[in-house]
Amino acid sequence: MEVGNQSVVAGFVLLGLSDQPKLEKMFFVFILLMYLVILLGNGVLILVTILDSRLHTPMYFFLGNLSFLDICYTTSSIPLVLDGFLTPRKTISFSGCAMQMFLSFAMGATECVLLGMMAFDRYVAICNPLRYPVVMSKAVYVPMAISSWVAGGANSLVQISLAVQLPFCGDNVINHFTCEILAVLKLACADISINVISMGVANVIFLGVPVLFISGSYVFIIATILRIPSAEGRKKAFSTCSAHLTVVVIFYGTILFMYAKPKSKDPLGADKQDLSDKLISLFYGVLTPMLNPIIYSLRNKHVKVAVKTLVSQKCFA
């Protein structure tokens, strides 16, 4: 296809670590093992939240959604990454790239909203325990979870629709492991200011607002816990939200580290910084989904009991 004197891009080349062949084999093993842990850990959590009637509560319903989301998020990109480690200069079609961007963007935005919903659940459980069964009834928490998925999907649809309308001509090499949207936008041969503004607004809505909401919720939660007279009561109350708080800190802390770390002004260090940015982004995509089930299993006695029950039933069946 031709537009003027420029050929239109029909697909992209994912650079990945093609300039670091020794690292490719090592990272293939690491990422594969982490991906298998993600599938196993989150899969077990989904099973126990479905099969164990003691976990049929709003908190564990949200946890099951979070585990399913983490599986979807990693599956939208990790198989492509692993294939890229084995295939130098991996190519991907334009439509395949758009679909991968949509899924990754949708899952990321959904997780931000879902973590906010989980914070509200913990706020009601600790600050208004007597009203908890009414406020967090099934008629409430199911639509809350659905709205998280709808909001994330709608946001992704807007961002990706704007991106795919851009003309891509000339260079088609994405200096990344996947079709990361910022890396793709750099290849557009047109003004991307609308895309940048749209993504900025989305970041405020899906990152800033949930962070403020979660922070406000935990201010009230901590204040309520500190008013509990007995040390045992305070410990028990905090234990019900410590896993969620740990996941939130890791999730948003990693994002903050990724985007707030200073950029090198030394042109000689640009290649090293590009490699560092790619690896940080890669491990961000697998670290949080891998740690979530581990954190909830270690810090929640109900989940630990349910997992042990499920394992014993499978072993002696």
Provide the residue type at 215 as one letter.
Answer: S
List pLDDT tens digits, range 137-196: 999 999 999 999 999 999 999 999 999 888 887 778 888 888 888 888 888 888 899 999
Is the Cα dihedral 60, 62, 68, 69 positive or negative? negative
Q: Is the pLDDT of residue 268 over 50?
A: no
CA separation, residue 260 to residues 168, 195, 254 (Å): 29, 21, 10
CB 249 within 8 A of CB 212: no
Which of 270, 221, 254, 229 has its CA nearest to residue 120?
221
Residue 131 — pLDDT band, cuts 50, 70, 90?
very high
DSSP state of 13: E
Query: C-alpha angle with apex 170: 198 to 93, nearest 5 degrees?
Result: 70
List pLDDT tens digits, range 47-66: 988 988 888 999 999 999 99
Phi, psi (deg, nearest 5) at residue 223 = -60, -40
10 Å Cβ neighbour count for 120?
A: 18
* Interval 120-134 mean pLDDT: 93
In a domain, 119, yes or no: yes
Higher pLDDT, 297 or 230: 230
In whole angstroms, give the CA distance from residue 306 to residue 53: 10
In whole angstroms, give the CA distance from residue 59 to residue 76: 26
In whole angstroms, give the CA distance from residue 309 to residue 65: 21
- Give me the chain's average pLDDT, please: 84
As a whole-number percent, the residues of the chain with pLDDT over 90 amount to 41
Q: What is the pLDDT of residue 5?
A: 40
Number of domains present in the structure of the chain: 1
In a domain, 2, yes or no: no
Provide the residue type at 103 as one letter.
Answer: L
Output the six-digit token pair for 203.
Answer: 């970041």
Contacts of 237 (CB under 8 A, 6+ apart): 126, 224, 225, 228
In a domain, 265, yes or no: no
* Interval 213-232 mean pLDDT: 92
Q: Is the pLDDT of residue 103 over 80?
A: yes
CA separation, residue 275 to residues 15, 16, 92, 163, 257 (Å): 11, 9, 21, 25, 16
In a domain, 109, yes or no: yes
Q: What is the pLDDT of residue 267?
A: 47
In a domain, 313, yes or no: no
Q: Which domain holds residue 78?
A: 11-257+273-305
List pLDDT tens digits, range 80-96: 888 888 877 678 888 88
Residue 125 — pLDDT band, cuts 50, 70, 90?
very high
Higher pLDDT, 253 or 208: 208
Q: Is the pLDDT of residue 295 over 50?
A: yes
CATH number reported for the structural domain that contains residue 277 in this entry: 1.20.1070.10
In a domain, 314, yes or no: no
List pLDDT tens digits, range 20-32: 777 778 888 989 9
Which of 36, 89, 42, 82 has its CA nearest to residue 64?
42
* Interval 102-123 mean pLDDT: 94
